[in-house]
């Protein structure tokens, strides 16, 4: 759950100036990446009612050391507390293609 999710609309239900659905999706994308790469559920050891408080406090799941450095950095950028600083999907795709190229080169 992205840290800004509960605050994404104003009291009258209208979108607030911080409501950026695609940036929420970027955060979620990084969570899915974590789940795929680790096979774990993020914050599995934490009560569901405490997860949002931890995320708002800036805590994120720990990425294993085995994850390639650039991929770990990309995931962490997607988890930025400031949703306006998160990359958009065009930038994510560009970086993923670059990382793929690096990994393919390493196999040669």
Q: pLDDT by residue (tens digit) across 29-38?
A: 999 999 999 9
Q: What is the pTM of this model?
A: 0.80
| Angular region, 60: left φ>0, alpha ψ -120 to 50, beta rest | beta
Per-residue 3-state assignment (H helix, E strand, C coil) for the chain: CCCCHHHCECCCCCECCCCCHHHHHHHHHHHHHHHHHHCCCCCCCCCHHHHHHHHHCCCCCCCCCCCCHHHHHHHHHHCCCCHHHCCCHHHHHHHHHHHHHHHHHHHC
| pLDDT (tens digit per residue) in 49-100 | 899 899 989 999 999 999 999 999 999 999 999 989 999 999 999 999 999 9
CATH number for 5-107: choose from 3.90.1300.10, 1.10.510.10, 3.40.50.300, 3.40.190.80.
1.10.510.10
């Amino acid at each position: 759950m992205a840290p800004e999710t509960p605050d994404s609309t104003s009291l009258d239900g209208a979108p607030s100036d911080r409501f950026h659905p695609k940036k929420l999706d970027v955060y979620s994308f990084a969570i899915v990446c974590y789940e795929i790469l680790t096979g774990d559920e993020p914050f599995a050891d934490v009560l569901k009612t405490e997860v949002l408080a931890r995320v708002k406090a800036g805590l994120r799941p720990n990425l294993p050391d085995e994850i390639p450095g650039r991929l770990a950095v990309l995931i962490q950028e997607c988890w930025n507390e400031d949703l306006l600083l998160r990359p958009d999907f065009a930038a994510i795709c560009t970086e993923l293609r670059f990382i793929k190229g690096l990994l393919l080169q390493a196999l040669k």
